[in-house]
Amino acid sequence: MINLPVLVLNQSYEPLTICRARRAVVLMYQGKAEMLENGVGFIHTVSDTLPLPSVIRLAYMIRRPYRERKLSRFEIFNRDHYTCQYCGKETRQLTLDHIIPRYRGGQHTWENVVSACVPCNRRKAGRTPKEARMDLVRPPSYPRGRAFYIPYQYQQTKHEWQKYLPQ
């Protein structure tokens, strides 16, 4: 139970990170954080019973420098919400696909790389989407917003986090 994930928010309710319940309870006990959402149970000490938080907010502001996003598999999958950009299927078994193939002069840029499921990537092969008669669900672009991600396994299970996350 002390290893359950807890969403940590800045003083301004901006998501910062995900920590374990044990760390969140220590932050609350020291007065450095407050609990916003109750978790799934309690931790019993010798003299007290403490609730397990699911979402906490820090009592002070953390200033984070803005960082340029790097083009990587993880970033592409998060930008595309783990969805194939050709058939719209949401899956973990994704590959990267260059819209204009690299051997035809396509660049490895945000605007030319999308996530695709294995069957769609094989069907498209080394052709452009127009040649393969495959339309994109949405055109690729540089991702907007801050670089904070919820791991895939928590996206569907942690419903109490949704009101604190940017859409």
Q: Identify whether the C-beta of residue 94 lies closer than 8 Å to the C-beta of residue 82.
A: yes
Decide if pLDDT at 145 tops 80.
no
In this structure, of 38-42, 50-54, 64-68, 147-151, the range with the lowest mean pLDDT score is: 147-151
Decide if pLDDT at 29 tops 80.
yes
Decide if pLDDT at 32 tops 70.
yes
Two tokens, residue 69: 């996003």
Between 115 and 165, the more confident residue is 115
Residue 50 neighbours by CB under 8 Å, 6+ apart: 25, 28, 29, 42, 43, 44
Residue 37 is predicted with a pLDDT of 87
CATH entry, 73-132, from 1.10.30.50, 2.130.10.10, 1.10.3720.10, 1.10.10.10:
1.10.30.50
In this structure, of 43-47, 58-62, 98-102, the range with the lowest mean pLDDT score is: 43-47
Domain coordinates of the chain in residue numbers? 5-65, 73-132
pTM for this one? 0.62
Q: Whole-angstrom Cα distance, residue 113 to residue 128?
A: 12
Residue 161 is predicted with a pLDDT of 81
Residue 34 is predicted with a pLDDT of 94
Residue 100 is predicted with a pLDDT of 95
Percent of all residues in the chain with a pLDDT value above 90, rounded to a whole number: 53
Average pLDDT over residues 12-29: 90
Q: For 67-122, what is each residue's pLDDT tens digit?
A: 778 898 988 998 898 999 999 999 889 999 999 999 999 999 999 999 999 999 99
Rg of the Cα trace of the chain?
Answer: 21
Give the residue among 160, 165, 153, 14 at the shortest CA–CA distance from 82. Answer: 153
Residue 140 is predicted with a pLDDT of 94
Residue 79 is predicted with a pLDDT of 87
